[in-house]
Chains A and B, each alone.
Chain A
Amino acid sequence: MTTISRQKEILLMDAHDMKRALTRISHEILERNKGIQDLALVGIRTGGVYLARRIQAFIKQIEGHELPLGELDITLYRDDLGSRRDQPEVRKTSIPFHITDLKIVLVDDVLFTGRTIRAAMDGLIDLGRPAEIQLAVLIDRGHRQLPIKANYVGKSVPTARDEIVHVYLEELGERDRVVLVTAE
């Protein structure tokens, strides 16, 4: 239904907004965890990985140390694997450190239903027993279907369920920006 009607794009964040938000999140992570002791970042593929790398770079600027960074693919943990028509592509999970007893900050671009985060937590726990799992997202757009809440949020945006939030990243050949696609 929504595909027939005309769509318009609303700019939610530009490159400067994104940089400020990620800098603030980096500071908040350090504040909450009182430094970088036992701390590690895990980005959720694909967007979350690039955002995690940016947070890693900001924290290095602030603290002078590089946090361990992992990349998590949640495809195999999706709760809709058997019911989808198309088979989602599996990518590699690469977490080159032991997560047991670490404080893990999961990083994703958009927090929506919470199902991706549920899958990511299941995936992480299969790899070990972290001391804590925290969640950092660039955009929280509401409409949770699971009891999941982010610890660090770049921007909270009220949306309608059928609207779409796109996070465009330089690393993927785009101009940094966040856009809300909505029916006119």
Chain B
Amino acid sequence: MGLKRKDLLDVASLSAEDIHLILETADSFKEVSGREIKKVPALRGKTVVNLFFEPSTRTRTSFELAAKRLSADVINFSPSTSSIVKGETLLDTARNIESMQADIIVLRHPSPGAAETLARGVRSSVINAGDGCHEHPTQALLDLFTIRQRKAHLAGLCVVIVGDIAHSRVARSNIYALTKMGATVRVAAPPTMIPLYLDRLGVSVFFDLDRALEGADVVMMLRLQLERLGQAYLPSIREYARLYGLTAERMKRAKPDALVMHPGPLNRGVEIAPEVADSGAAVILDQVANGVAVRMGLMYLLSGG
């Protein structure tokens, strides 16, 4: 048993069996979060370091909570308060952290590949919590967990991912994970937000959201990164909201029991209408709750062997 790897850097290198094992293990950890005393001693005496070079509340808190529910000790490093502002390199920072006997380093970094660079340089396990536009594997795993919870299976489902595919590590990790598990993936976005050669990943590309939604089982909305506005990807937020915003009217094209997902934080009224975000179809808060269980399962699996 076990993942037989030191790090989790991406979904691309995971097999369907690995993904299955992580989801099954997470399922066992889900029960712990429902207890009165939400703690098990599995990682007692181990140290988890959250090394976040980008602002994040949700992901960092989720990792912190997961580690604490496993009884690990948790340290949070963020660049503004540490020696990174003094010019230390990523690897030197990590080596210092490693010298303090860190067992798992959770890294979020703006540069694609940062997690892999780090993993090669340290003996600690590294979990990629988002590296630039590359991957955000734990987000995809918790999304799959949430879909499986509602739909019981992943194979054969039609999942539509809507938004800035080109810059989204969430989209990339989900495309890998969903296709490996046998789901059909459609993406919908303005042409400026679709990367070249995307069809090589086995997804179909739509510029028209209404067409993409026909018969969908799951609609996964991405956050519109408003900072992209000045970069000529979009004429205006209003136009984007009109063409690519998920409204209750548009949802009628999907299957009646379709799920709506969003990795957060929400731009209400932009990519998702409030009545959709608050509807029974939305599993956005389930995603957050499941994130803790998935990260617990993953840290448990990486801590063995």
Residues of A bordering B, CB below 8 Å: 73, 75-77, 81-82, 84-94, 122-123, 126-128
Instruction: Known contacts A76-B42, A81-B42, A87-B305; decide if A92 and B28 are in contact (CB<8 Å).
Output: yes
Which of the four size classes fits the interface of chain B?
20 to 34
Q: How far is the CB of B41 from chain A (nearest CB, A)?
A: 6
Is B214 an interface residue when CB atoms closer than 8 A count as contact? no
Compute the total of residue contacts between A and B using a CB distance below 8 Å: 56
Q: Is the interface of B mostly helix, strand, loop or mixed?
A: loop
Interface pairs (24), CB distance under 8 Å: A76-B40, A76-B41, A77-B42, A81-B303, A81-B304, A82-B45, A82-B303, A86-B1, A86-B2, A87-B300, A87-B301, A87-B304, A89-B1, A90-B25, A90-B28, A91-B28, A93-B28, A93-B31, A94-B31, A122-B41, A123-B40, A126-B37, A126-B39, A127-B37
Per the bound structure, the CA–CA distance linking A92 and B40 in Å amounts to: 13
Q: How far is the CB of A100 from chain B (nearest CB, A)?
A: 9
- Beyond the given A87-B3, A88-B1, A123-B40, please list 9 additional residue pairs across the A-B interface where CB-CB is below 8 A: A76-B300, A77-B41, A82-B45, A82-B303, A87-B301, A88-B304, A89-B25, A90-B29, A90-B300
Q: Is the CB of B35 within 8 A of A87?
A: no
Q: Is the interface of A mostly helix, strand, loop or mixed?
A: loop
Per the bound structure, the CA–CA distance linking A76 and B39 in Å amounts to: 10
The one of B29, B40, B301 in contact with A126, judged by C-beta atoms closer than 8 angstroms, is B40
Write out the residue numbers on chain A whose beta carbons fall within 8 Å of the beta carbon of B297.
Answer: 90
The proximity string for B residues 219-232 relative to A, scoring 1 for CB distances below 8 Å and 0 otherwise, is: 00000000000000
Write out the residue numbers on chain A whose beta carbons fall within 8 Å of the beta carbon of B300.
Answer: 76, 87, 90
Per the bound structure, the CA–CA distance linking A91 and B30 in Å amounts to: 11
Is B98 an interface residue when CB atoms closer than 8 A count as contact? no
Write out the residue numbers on chain A whose beta carbons fall within 8 Å of the beta carbon of B41.
Answer: 76-77, 122
